[in-house]
Amino acid sequence: MNVLACRRFCAWLVLAIFAFTICAIPIWAADNVVVLKAERMFDGKSKTLVQHGVVIIQGDKIVDVGSNLAIPSGAQVIDLGDATLAPGFMDAHTHLTLDYSGDYNVRRLHELDLNVSEQAIKATTYARATVEAGFTTVRDLGSRFVGSREFVDVALRNSINKGVIVGPRMLVATKGIGATGGHFDPTSGFRDFLFGREPDYTDGIANGPEEIREAVRFEVKNGADVIKAAVSGGVLSLADEVDTPQLTPAEMAALIDESHRLRKKVAVHCHGDQAAREAIEAGVDSIEHGSFMKPETLTRMKNKGTFLTPTLMATEWIMSKLDNYPAALQAKAKAAGAARSDMFRSAVKMGVKISFGTDAAVFPHGQNAKEFKLMVDLGMTPIDALKSATATDAELLGIAQKVGTLEKGKLADIIAMPGDPTADITATERVSFVMKEGKIIRNGPPIVQTTAESTQATDIAAPVD
Ligand SMILES: [Zn+2]
């Protein structure tokens, strides 16, 4: 190599090293300041949108927020234009380890042969689809695989927290607690003793106050952040009626007392009115579904401050795909579907606290935001629907000091959607920007498409809805 060639080579090498170094630097270092701008902003607490919203982020926190704020020098500015900034959405009722959206009987057959590890790997794509849809936090209310002792929801939560995979912040319930033959009994509808034994508290199945306490302790020991129980029958289970009570008042009291002693909140799956009344009296934190609740029961909820998570999407999905379900379940779905709209309208009018929750898994993951339009169509204002999925859910989940609003000192969980969601609530279904704890997860088209609707269910589990 002559001198000139050698110089050229050295210059090339220096440039290459420089370029590589630049490329290797993360989009922004931890202490750098990022500024998000958009024409509008929903801050999670105001009754109207803020014009010319600006959020200033340093590291994982919001350091300032307001209208037309001055931009700090040297900050990275991301101008999202004709869009609305908002706190990351939350969904208080998901099942990120499961997918029930296909044919019910096909799924039940697969339930007997699917490898749980394979399901856990699939769940990582559900988690990604959910966070890319703008849901930066979920309360995951039940994960069980018949014949398996695995805690896939705990594994998913921990892997997200450690940065191994991308997904929403998760509060998990492990196995829902329920009675023998009740909505959560994974052996219901199968031949007696097909699985060799009756499920017990280690499967979430418990009878009597003492066993209920044991089940709560077992779940907390294994990583539960929240306790879920089925206190009435459900739609997607074969051996129960949809609205009958499934725990006695004494069992309900033990469930809630033991959970609260361990500083865990309690969410109960409940369609029936009697079971809801008993759960509310016992001090439950949220009623999930609540389809048949009467106005007197809603009044009691309002007075006690009990949250209602209506999961309108679940009923909507089942009603739109009735052929996927056996006749007995179709009848239950129709009865719950017919009752829930009036119940929801009444709850809105009475001012019951409504937490946003969808029952994702009954429908394909990533479509959570479709719940907003259903809520607005049944009488909720768009601003209240947005609050439900942000500040209200943060209050129910017990994490309002960290997330749920755009305020100084809170974690930078921030999303943006095109246009104005108060003029067209379906803007929530087109989230285009997602930041979680100061890290940009998405800016533009989704990296992972939402789970395709499928009639070939390869992903299975015991009934939850
Ligand atoms: Zn559910």
pLDDT at 452: 43
Q: Which ranges of 388-453 does DSSP label H, i.e. alpha helix? A: 393-397
From 365, 363, 372, 377, select the one nearest 318 (Cα to Cα). Answer: 363
**Which pair of structure tokens corresponds to residue 434?**
């997602």
φ and ψ at residue 436, rounded to 5 degrees: -125, 125
Gap from CA of 15 to ligand 1 centroid (Å)? 56
Residues ≥6 apart with Cβ < 8 Å to 285: 265, 266, 267, 306, 307, 396
Residues ≥6 apart with Cβ < 8 Å to 36: 53, 54, 55, 57, 78, 80, 85, 414, 416, 433, 435
Contact status, residue 82 vs residue 429, Cβ threshold 8 Å: no
Gap from CA of 464 to ligand 1 centroid (Å)? 5
C-alpha–C-alpha distance, residues 203 and 206, integer Å? 9
φ and ψ at residue 85, rounded to 5 degrees: -80, 150
Gap from CA of 359 to ligand 1 centroid (Å)? 5
Residues ≥6 apart with Cβ < 8 Å to 349: 379
Gap from CA of 408 to ligand 1 centroid (Å)? 34
pLDDT at 107: 85
pLDDT at 363: 96
Gap from CA of 180 to ligand 1 centroid (Å)? 18
Burial class of residue 452 in the structure, from the number of CB atoms within 10 Å of its CB (0-12 exposed, 13-18 middle, 19+ buried): exposed
Gap from CA of 53 to ligand 1 centroid (Å)? 36
How many residues are present in the chain?
465
Which residue ranges of the chain lie beneath pLDDT 70?
A: 1-31, 446-465
pLDDT at 114: 83
pLDDT at 273: 97
pLDDT at 113: 82
pLDDT at 111: 73
Q: pTM value?
A: 0.90
Bridging pattern class, strands 135-140 and 61-67: unpaired
Gap from CA of 175 to ligand 1 centroid (Å)? 11
Bridging pattern class, strands 169-172 and 307-309: unpaired
From 342, 229, 204, select the one nearest 279 (Cα to Cα). Answer: 229
Q: Which ranges of 222-326 does DSSP label H, i.e. alpha helix? A: 249-261, 273-282, 295-304, 312-320
From 26, 82, 28, select the one nearest 56 (Cα to Cα). Answer: 28
The 10s digit of each residue's pLDDT in 364-376 is 999 999 999 999 9
The 10s digit of each residue's pLDDT in 427-442 is 999 999 999 999 999 9
Gap from CA of 302 to ligand 1 centroid (Å)? 23
Gap from CA of 228 to ligand 1 centroid (Å)? 9
Strand partners, 270: 289
